């Protein structure tokens, strides 16, 4: 304390101490009598002004079995200042024992002979900061536990240098030993050629377009040569000061699920094969019956046979879809390509759908003949599928608009409906196998989630693109584009 004979200066110092937002107190004598304590310190004690003048241990008795009083006495005895960070203090505030955290400082005050006569106590209340840090640590710990118990691997990829940092589990999932180091190139080297490009493109997209990275692919283990299917997810994180942006995420072994899927596919494929032959002869008999009925005037029978025929055709399309899927798994879709007019094909598909669907209006703006090179049967099934979805996912009486637009090197076909629409979250996943949107709007619409998957595979094998633009509740437009035939 500054000793001065100027009353004003004394008052100014007193005011400074009183008004300081940081807790300040002065303890004097070996029993630590509280000579001065500003409001902030009284608040920290959880006491009122009546404690001033009392010894510390009587004023804040709940601190007696905590280290503070002992430390104060040490400082008083040794004359050595003491500072402590994030120290816990349990004090009674508002009638209940509460925990606070302080950085605090005990500074001895000495007389001219060097003998300590008092201690200045300043403190900073950092309770909020400590609690926040503890909750972050707790969340991290829970996350770590979740990652460990799911046997997940974790990874970080520097978006600029492409330097990979991986957990031991990630390295194991790629068939390396936990202690091996793993570069991005080495990880990519374990992915079969058929999937590698796709994975590299997905990483690039996640980095350049800030898109979520969520992809499944097979890897052949480096040391053990074992085939595993991995689901790898990640997301781009902004650059922090002095650091590059990075992708970070998890790796999960989904081999068991994939094997189940493959078994399911084998089963579906076998059953579909078995169903194909009786179904074909059933359709043939039905057509014969229909021809016969048409010779008479039994309109009820004719109508019933026509409807049965329609249902059987639907069944045939489904079975074809299943068979295509299993073929895709075994050897890829077999395309029989030739040059043909796409306009005609779209027209045929539209007319076929118009025959089957009477409660929707289908508009097709005619366009010039468009020569493309591809498999007309497979492309017809893409158009029919998009048309039947437009019908399926919109109410009766709505309009469906089919358009073709030519650009310099490609042709684009669009099928627009006024149906239930698609949430942006689902837009990309629609083209995945078995992906269906589960919502109250779709719960009564049957389907297997393979139509768009097959369509995407077919378009991709024609070097084309397929995508959707949609507003939930307002309708969707599905597009696909194909390269034009070069002359």
Binding site for ligand ADP (CB under 6 A): 385, 389-390, 393, 417, 419-420, 422, 430, 435-437, 442, 447-453, 476
Q: Which is nearer to ligand ADP, 107 or 461 (CB)?
A: 461
Q: At what angle do helices 299-330 and 451-460 cross, to 10 degrees?
A: 60
Collapsing DSSP to helix, strand or coil, 84 comes out as strand
To ligand ADP, the closest distance from the beta carbon of 385 in angstroms equals 6
Measured CA to CA, the distance from residue 51 to residue 33 in angstroms comes to 9
Tell me the two tokens of residue 249: 């995420």
To ligand ADP, the closest distance from the beta carbon of 430 in angstroms equals 4
Q: Which is nearer to ligand ADP, 10 or 479 (CB)?
A: 479
Measured CA to CA, the distance from residue 41 to residue 356 in angstroms comes to 84
To ligand ADP, the closest distance from the beta carbon of 381 in angstroms equals 11
Alpha helices in 174-254 (DSSP H): 184-189, 193-208
Q: Identify the CA nearest to 341 among candidates 291, 379, 312, 293.
A: 379
- 453 φ, ψ (degrees, to nearest 5): -60, -50
What's the length of the chain? Answer: 487
Tell me the two tokens of residue 462: 């024609």
Q: Identify the CA nearest to 237 among candidates 132, 153, 142, 157.
A: 157
Q: Which is nearer to ligand ADP, 121 or 353 (CB)?
A: 353
Q: Which is nearer to ligand ADP, 108 or 321 (CB)?
A: 321
Tell me the two tokens of residue 208: 């350049």
Q: Which is nearer to ligand ADP, 24 or 350 (CB)?
A: 350
Q: Which is nearer to ligand ADP, 36 or 386 (CB)?
A: 386
Measured CA to CA, the distance from residue 127 to residue 138 in angstroms comes to 16
CA 13 to chain centre: 58
Paired sense of beta strands 361-364 and 399-406, if any:
parallel
To ligand ADP, the closest distance from the beta carbon of 367 in angstroms equals 22
Tell me the two tokens of residue 362: 């289908």
To ligand ADP, the closest distance from the beta carbon of 440 in angstroms equals 12
To ligand ADP, the closest distance from the beta carbon of 309 in angstroms equals 21
β partners of residue 166 = 155
Q: Which is nearer to ligand ADP, 125 or 272 (CB)?
A: 272
Q: Which is nearer to ligand ADP, 102 or 478 (CB)?
A: 478
CB 69 within 8 A of CB 32: yes
Residue nearest to ligand ADP (CB): 447
To ligand ADP, the closest distance from the beta carbon of 254 in angstroms equals 21
């Amino acid at each position: 304390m500054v000793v001065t004979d100027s009353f004003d200066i004394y008052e100014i110092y007193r005011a400074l101490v009183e008004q300081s937002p940081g807790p300040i107190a002065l303890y004097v004598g070996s029993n630590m009598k509280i000579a001065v304590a500003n409001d902030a310190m009284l608040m920290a004690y959880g006491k009122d002004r009546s404690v001033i003048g009392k010894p510390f241990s009587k004023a804040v008795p709940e601190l007696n079995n905590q280290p503070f009083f002992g430390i104060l006495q040490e400082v008083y005895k040794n004359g050595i200042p003491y500072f402590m960070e994030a120290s816990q203090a349990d004090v009674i505030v508002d009638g209940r024992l509460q925990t606070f955290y302080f950085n605090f400082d005990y500074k001895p005050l000495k007389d001219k002979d060097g003998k300590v006569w008092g201690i200045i106590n300043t403190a900073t209340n950092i309770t909020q900061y400590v609690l926040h840090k503890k909750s972050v640590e707790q969340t991290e710990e829970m996350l770590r536990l979740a990652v460990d118990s799911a046997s997940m691997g974790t990874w970080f990829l520097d978006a600029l240098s492409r330097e990979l940092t991986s957990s031991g589990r990630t390295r194991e999932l790629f068939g390396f030993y936990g202690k091996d180091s793993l570069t991005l190139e080495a990880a990519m080297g374990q992915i079969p050629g058929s999937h590698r490009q796709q994975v590299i493109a997905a990483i690039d997209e996640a980095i350049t377009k800030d898109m979520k990275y969520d992809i499944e692919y097979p890897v052949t283990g480096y040391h053990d040569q074992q085939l595993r299917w991995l689901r790898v997810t990640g997301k781009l994180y902004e650059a922090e000061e002095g650091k590059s942006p990075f992708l970070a995420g998890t790796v999960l072994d989904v081999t068991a699920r994939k094997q189940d899927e493959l078994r399911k596919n084998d089963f579906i494929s076998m059953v579909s094969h078995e169903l194909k032959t009786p179904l074909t002869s059933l359709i043939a008999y039905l057509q014969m019956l229909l021809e016969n009925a048409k010779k008479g005037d039994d309109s009820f029978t004719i109508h019933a046979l026509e409807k049965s025929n329609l249902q059987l055709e639907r069944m045939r399309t489904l079975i074809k879809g299943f068979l295509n899927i299993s073929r895709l798994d075994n050897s890829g879709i077999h395309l029989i390509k030739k040059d043909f007019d796409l306009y005609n094909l779209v027209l045929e598909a539209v007319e076929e759908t118009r025959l089957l669907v009477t409660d929707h209006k289908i508009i097709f703006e005619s366009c010039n003949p468009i020569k493309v090179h591809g498999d007309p049967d497979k492309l017809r099934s893409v158009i029919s599928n998009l048309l039947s979805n437009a019908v399926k996912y919109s109410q009766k009486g709505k309009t469906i608009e089919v358009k073709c637009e030519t650009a310099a090197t490609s042709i684009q076909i669009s099928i627009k409906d006024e149906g239930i629409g698609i949430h942006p979250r689902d837009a990309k996943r629609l083209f995945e196998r078995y992906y269906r949107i589960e919502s109250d709007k779709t719960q009564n619409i049957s389907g297997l989630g393979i139509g768009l998957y097959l369509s995407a595979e077919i378009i991709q094998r024609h070097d084309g693109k397929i995508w959707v633009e949609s507003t939930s509740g307002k309708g969707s437009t599905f597009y696909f584009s194909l390269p034009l035939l070069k002359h």
